[in-house]
Amino acid sequence: MEPCEYGVFPVKDALEIVLIFGQSGEILYANTEAEKNLGYQGDLYGRRISEVFPGEFKESGGGILSDHPFGHEIRKLIAYRKNHTCFPVRARIMEAEGREGIYICMADVTLEEEYLSREVSQRKQEVEEALKVKSEFVANVTHELRTPVNGVLGHVRELSDKETDEAKQKILRVIERCCDDMNKIINNILDFSKLEAGKFVLEPRRFHVRDMLDYVRSNHINKITEKGLDFFMTVSPQVPEYIIGDELRIGQILNNLLSNALKFTSVGKITLEVFKTAQVGKKAELFFIVIDSGIGIDEGDKDKLFQSFSQVDASISRKYGGTGLGLNICKQLVELMGGRIGVESEKNKGSAFSFSIWADVDDPDVEEGKAEEPEAFSQRTLFDGTSFLDDEYDAGKHYGTEENREALSRNLSKLILCVEMENWEKAEMFMETIRQLSEGAPRDVGRVILRLKMAVQKENYEKTAAGVEELKTFLSSEGEQPAG
């Protein structure tokens, strides 16, 4: 093949590599840069496209086959030299004008890629160092914060033991609660930064599963009943007595889910259920579910929940508080324990948060290496989309039903009890529940509710008591003539 026909091309001395291939894939023209870069000395002509770009072009039946469409778009290819070494190129592949064949104009980007990869690894190192500095800073700050908070807490408890004045006791209780809340936030930030830096280490030990669950229950039961909610806990008989796991962290996940359930539920019940869903040798999969009949979560917001610092929306953080770290920490802890966490929820109906973990069973009766049948329950894990939310408490929310009347009168009794004890803060809580329970009530009931709400807000005992009586009378007269 004579090169002279194409040697007159102005691209002969171009800085880029220029190659022209005939329609059957043979090189018709190569400029000086092409010869130099591909390691040929005048013997490039007649070579095949599949020799220069073996991974990109093939020849079949006398034609060129390629996945690369022709055009001005820039593509990355790997070009092979005569000595079979290769280098990355940025190339344009076009149809050769006026001829059957293709025209490739390209530049060696080895140096550029090396520079980029150096840059990337340098940036990565910088980010890692910044993360390290950040987590050390967070660890120091949280430690420094914890010391004074615990100092205040200690003194408050000491004062509280000695104080006999009821009003001062009340103030001390508020300070104690604030310190506890602050400690929870500090611990969350510390856990989060350790998890983020990959420095979190689980501390597995042998523990009694039901004792741990009872302890978790005892942390919440008072607040749950104070709020007028029911609490149910079921532990399947197949759940082992003792397991080897991080008791503290399993408890932390459950505490977090139960605190959220309590925070976002004003009517109904909270349920905690525990099952064993699989067993392989000494290892068991335990499955925990916390179900509430609270405000629920929009379908579109579910993905946000497990991200760090994420709350469903600003109004929720204003109304209920929180840092949005809890569920992200839960997710990371669950994953460290080899499990998964998920949520099923329906707006205004309730939520069911569930997670699984794998742990060693510490039971001499469990034979090593023997796989047991999972509990029938595993057929209805949250991850398969089966619903856990029942309608029982939803019914209580519809004004006029028997359940609703019962829930209303229960909450009215609790409201008046709080008022008699001058606990207006708690009374407001019951008032909010009453307001929610009476949504959809006739206008005259609505007016009494409004008056009652204002009386509670103004801490007016007489008007509150009168409002409660008035509502109770309404309810009992409605009860006599069945609703609907």
Cβ neighbours of residue 353 under 8 Å, at least 6 residues apart? 257, 260, 261, 289, 290, 341, 342, 343
Residue 436, classified by CB atoms within 10 Å of its CB into exposed (0-12), middle (13-18) or buried (19+), is middle
Position among 11, 104, 261, 359 found at the interface with ligand ADP (CB under 6 A): 261
Q: Which stretch binds ligand ADP (CB under 6 A): 74-82, 150-158, 238-246, 254-262?
A: 254-262
The answer to whether 399 and 440 are in contact (CB under 8 A) is yes
Q: Which is nearer to ligand ADP, 343 or 449 (CB)?
A: 343
> CA–CA separation, 134 vs 315, rounded Å?
30
Q: Which is nearer to ligand ADP, 84 or 318 (CB)?
A: 318
Q: Which is nearer to ligand ADP, 118 or 347 (CB)?
A: 347
Residue 408 CB contacts under 8 Å (≥ 6 apart), including other chains: 434, 437, 438, 471, 475
> Interface with ligand ADP includes 279 (CB under 6 A)?
no
Closest approach, Cβ 253 to ligand ADP, in A, equals 11
Q: Which stretch binds ligand ADP (CB under 6 A): 33-41, 195-203, 287-295, 416-424?
A: 287-295
Residue 297 in the binding site for ligand ADP (CB under 6 A): yes
Beta bridge pairs of residue 361:
243
CB of 165 to ligand ADP, least distance (A): 35
Q: Residues 299 to 338: which contact ligand ADP by CB under 6 A?
A: 305, 311-312, 316, 322-327
What is the amino acid identity at position 232?
A: F
Considering only 271, 351, 354, 404, the residue that binds ligand ADP (CB under 6 A) is 351
Q: Is 270 in the site for ligand ADP (CB under 6 A)?
A: no
Closer residue to ligand ADP, CB minimum distance, 93 or 261: 261
Tokens of 262: 């309590």
Q: How far is the CB of 15 from ligand ADP (least distance, A)?
A: 57
Which residue, 94 or 316, has its beta carbon nearer to ligand ADP?
A: 316
Q: How far is the CB of 91 from ligand ADP (least distance, A)?
A: 49
List the one residue from 96, 156, 295, 448 that touches ligand ADP (CB under 6 A): 295
The yes or no reply on residue 171 touching ligand ADP (CB under 6 A) is no
Comparing CB distances to ligand ADP, the nearer of 321 and 338 is 321
Of residues 64 and 186, the one with the C-beta less far from ligand ADP: 186
**Binding residues for ligand ADP, per CB under 6 A?**
256, 260-261, 264, 292, 294-295, 297, 305, 311-312, 316, 322-327, 351
